[in-house]
Amino acid sequence: MSSSLTRREFLSRTGVAVAAIETADYFCACCAVAADAKTADRDLFQLKPVADGVYAAIAAPRYKVNSNAAVIVTNDGVIVVDSHSKPSAAFALYREIQSVTKMPIRKIINTHFHWDHWQGNQAYAEKFPNLEIIASERTRANLTSADAGSGGIGYVEKQLANVPKEIAKLKEDIVRASSPEQKARLEANLRQTEGYLEELAQFKPTLPTRTVSNSVTLKEGGREIQILVLGRAHTDGDVFIYLPREKVVASGDALIDWMPFLNDGYPEEWVQTLAALEKYDFDRVIPGHGDVMPKAQMAFFRGYLTDLIGAVKNAAANGAGLEEMKKEIANRLAPKYEQGMSKHPLGQYRDRVALNIEMVHRKVVKKS
């Protein structure tokens, strides 16, 4: 999208109803949109108790992905870790939270800068003007950068340019669909994508109001909440949220129940950072995606990164080319990792392993 286009010009070119957008407040829009979208919104998150007053909000699989959240209820308000890919999703979770407490949301913590973890900040900030939004210093810098990777203000502009193309492609694919089931699935994806574009078009970047550069301990309404800065991993600004009394960690995407996304990551440091986290005393992890996991599952995830890095380094030392590596290493690691990394409909082993290999090759082998 050319930056000289106003939002109105952009909207009229992409065929989004300008009047509808300009008058829409998504808090109201949530109740006014079509019935199918309303039903879908209600099912976006499942709140699972993981300790007294601590919940994992597990995001339902969606074509337009949402992150999980951690919801921490204190004696004087609620702290939410991560805010999903759009304000309406954040609001859907807020309504879920209201089913367990009517206390206000006091703080949001963004674990990292990726689009699917912060773009809903706006929903909470508009509802709660005194909201504090906490992230690492690096995450705030990435959020304000024009070109930080898969998130931030620059990435919103890229999406505004690319999502209309995605919509056009989905419409073509619907025409060519070979079965009623495929057509229905593509139509659902199209509805999600059109709704997403509408929200992006009225997006107001809502940035962290407080940053941390080292680990800090918050005393919040009777709870101790540590924000751990342990090194680079999934991004250069990851934080982990650690509740020592409840023995729970919310990890963002540095530890997920899917295949990792390495494009903005630091593979070798990631392994070290997870090892540093593992030294803390906790039982369960609320990951950035997938389901609540026992601490023991960290070893599996860390083992995948370690084995992947080792395999790519070895293959490179033996003169293998990237395309050869993608096939050979994917198949070789499959018996150990394919099943455990393919538990959910999204982020499965075969969807991501080739890109993982390419990223390790770029970030580890080429750099050395």
Q: Which residue's CB is nearer to Zn ion, number 261 or number 337?
A: 261
Verify binding: residue 62, Zn ion, rule CB under 5 A: no
Q: Which of 91, 110, 93, 103 is nearest to 48 (CA)?
A: 93
Do 247 and 223 meet the contact criterion of CB atoms below 8 Å apart? Answer: no
Least distance in Å: CB of 115 to Zn ion? 8
- Rounded least distance, CB 333 to Zn ion, Å: 22
> Least distance in Å: CB of 209 to Zn ion?
21
Q: Which residue lies nearer to Zn ion by CB, 85 or 297?
A: 85
Residues 274-313 close enough to bind Zn ion by CB under 5 A: 288
Closer Cβ to Zn ion, 67 or 193, answer by number = 67
The residue type of 19 is A
Measured distance CA(308)–CA(313) in Å, rounded: 9
Measured at the CA of 255, the angle between CA 271 and CA 101, to 5 degrees, comes to 150
Binding-residue total with Zn ion (CB under 5 A): 5
Tokens representing 280 are 């803390």
Does residue 257 belong to the site contacting Zn ion (CB under 5 A)? no
Q: Give the residue with the Cβ less far from Zn ion, 292 or 311.
A: 292
10 Å Cβ neighbour count for 216?
14
* Neighbouring C-beta atoms of residue 77, cutoff 10 Å: 18
Binding segment for Zn ion (CB under 5 A), chosen from 66-74, 84-92, 124-132, 198-206, is 66-74
Beta carbon of residue 96, minimum distance to Zn ion (angstroms, whole number): 19
**Closest separation between CB of residue 228 and Zn ion, Å?**
17
Q: SS3 for 209? A: coil
Per CB under 5 A, the segment of 163-171, 196-204, 236-244, 247-255 that binds Zn ion is: 247-255
Q: Which residues contact 9 (CB under 8 A, 6 or more apart)?
A: none
- Say which DSSP state 363 is in: I
Q: Does 67 bind Zn ion (CB under 5 A)?
A: yes
114 binding Zn ion? (CB under 5 A): yes
Nearer to Zn ion, 171 or 362 (CB): 362
Task: Please state the φ and ψ torsions of residue 132, each to the nearest 5 degrees.
Answer: -105, 135
Reduced to 3 states, what is the DSSP secondary structure of residue 252? strand
* CB closer to Zn ion, 74 vs 121: 121
As a whole number of angstroms, the distance between CA 257 and CA 285 comes to 10
Q: Is 268 in the site for Zn ion (CB under 5 A)?
A: no
Q: Which is nearer to Zn ion, 77 or 252 (CB)?
A: 252
Residue among 137 and 220 whose Cβ is closer to Zn ion = 137
Q: Report d(CA 36, CA 126) in Å as an integer.
A: 26
Buried/exposed code over 95-128 (b: 16+ C-beta within 10 A; e: otherwise): ebbeeeeeeebbbbbbbbbbbbbbbbbbbbbbeb
| Cβ distance to Zn ion smaller for residue 293 or 315 | 293
The answer to whether the CB of 297 falls within 8 A of the CB of 341 is no
Binding part of the chain for Zn ion, among 38-46, 64-72, 275-283, 314-322 by CB under 5 A, reads 64-72
Specify the stretch interacting with Zn ion by CB under 5 A; choose among 6-14, 42-50, 107-115, 350-358.
107-115
**Residue whose pair of structure tokens reads 């890229």 in the numeric block:** 158
Name the residue nearer to Zn ion (CB basis): 27 or 63: 63
DSSP structural state of residue 76: T
Residues 315-344: x where in contact with Zn ion by CB under 5 A, - otherwise, as a string: ------------------------------
Rule CB under 5 A: choose which of 116, 194, 236, 257 binds Zn ion: 116
Minimum CB separation from Zn ion for residue 253, in Å?
Answer: 3
Distance CA(127)–CA(69), nearest Å, equals: 18
Selected from 253, 270, 304, 356, the binder of Zn ion by CB under 5 A is: 253
SS (HEC) of 66-107: CCCEEEEEECCEEEEECCCCCHHHHHHHHHHHHCCCCCCEEE
Interface ranges with Zn ion (CB under 5 A): 67, 114, 116, 253, 288
